[in-house]
Structure 1
Amino acid sequence: MASAICSYLPELLCKFPSIDENLMREFKKTVDIGFKAFVRNYTNFIDVVKQPLQWFLNSLESFFVNTPWFIILVLMVAIVWLASRNIKITIGAALSMMAIGLVGLWQDTMVTLSMVTVCTLISIVIGIPVGILMARSDRIQGIVNPVLDVMQTMPTFVYLIPVVMIFGIGKVPGLIAVVIYAVPPMIRLTNLGIRLVDKEVLEAADAFGSSPGQKLRNVQIPLALPTIMAGINQTIMMSLAMVVVASMIGVGGLGKNVLQAIANQFFTVGFLNGFSLVAIAIIFDRTSQAYGKRLQKHTEVIHG
């Protein structure tokens, strides 16, 4: 029926008008050549930027991988207990990590754990200041929000193209791709948490003569901490999700094993590595949620 209708209409109304193919081809070629030239011209600067990230990631990975397993296990259990103060979560974390070790995936899990830790720390360092700026200025929020929308909705594989072109193949490019994907919830929830602080509390702080900096440090951030912790939780979850995709450009660990299992149709290998990723995600999720609830109760007591 559609073809019958188009037979009575001009071609312009039936076929959406597009830019000339030759013109588009030249435009794409010009942009690609210009981007490659930019990367070549600033190779030394890019290497300088990569170096601290490479050193930090390699150092943490070396610590996780080369430290005896029982020390890492004790440290993890201690951190989970101190954060959650929940015996069930602590025992669950210990049993999950022991199960990962028993199936021979301890070292790969440590590699993934180091990557997620670095990505989370970088996301926190970037996300909290940007979120604070957004909370203080509606204009900055109006500028940053569309950028965050693009970062969250763009297909994850698209991130890899410019990252690989600029930084090449390796762990640092994978780290940067993961951070780009994982940092938006940290920014959004920091902004939200500070904006949700009760105006009456802020007015009381003003009445006591608090400066903007004092008000931020002593009132807004402490009261917004539960929401900020939710942002950290989401950042960790998104980092773990992106690690598998980032393995395509040289990030090792569990993500690499999952990709190899997909390529070779190894169900058991894929399941075990997937189980390990899920176990880490659940440990982080339950621990950060429990810590967030403790902070919530603490702030409610202070606020009350």
Structure 2
Amino acid sequence: MAYVPGVALLAALVAGCSAGSDAGDPDADSKPGSPTVTAAPPGKYRTLPESCRAVPRSTLKDLLPGAADLSDEQQDKVYEGTAAVTYDTDRKVGCRWKSDGPDATRNLSIDFERVVSYDPAVSDDAGAREVYAKKEDAADLPTSAGVTPSGTTGASSSASSGSTPSGSPDGKTSTKPSADPSGSATDPGEDLRPRLLDGLGDAAFLDDSLTRAGSTAQHRTVSVVFRTSNVIVSVHYTAQPDSVTEVPDSKELQEKAQALARELDEALND
């Protein structure tokens, strides 16, 4: 019967096709004992707040005292703030305020940055930790008892417990304060140096810089930066007295900048 070999061949081809039909099955290549790659979890935050509305008006009145002497219309303009230029409001937003008082000028800025990792093996939180760590390193915080800001022991860096002048590209002189950076009477046990902060977000630090440009008045900028999950928040608060002999008070600026940072942290977690 000549047709039998052909039938047998056809049966073999059909069997072969059936055996290969698992090629499109996503589990077909899985082998017993092979590791399963699980994507890292996303960060807690998927959006950012509207930055120019993130600070309550009552807080702005305290931080920008010069605005109190303005007309209602002018006050409204000051408290509205100016949004920072950004091309992706889902990733980064900010706002700026300025108040010119009879004795001093105050500037306030806040920035929110939401970190998103596009590497499935790296979580958004891990990416944010890396971004925050770079900001902390750039602040060059003083060391204490041989412990670096990151928590590892080692030799003290150039930012020792005393004042640490450093030249900046614009020719201004910036000084890290000593334990009494304002020159006024303070609690001897109170440390006002740049430092790590406890109880604010997942990690936080404070920087304090006194700057003089030529013969103009000194201005002090206190910065508080903290990370909560995959969002990093930066607060910068500056005071510049009109008098060239007056030194902006470090303690006042630090207390107000920290208070605002804690307000923003609470608002993010509501």
Alignment TM-score, normalising by the size of structure 2 = 0.32
Normalized per residue, the structure richer in helix is 1
Structure ID, larger Rg: 2
Normalized per residue, the structure richer in strand is 2
Larger RCO (CA under 8 A, 6+ residues apart): 1
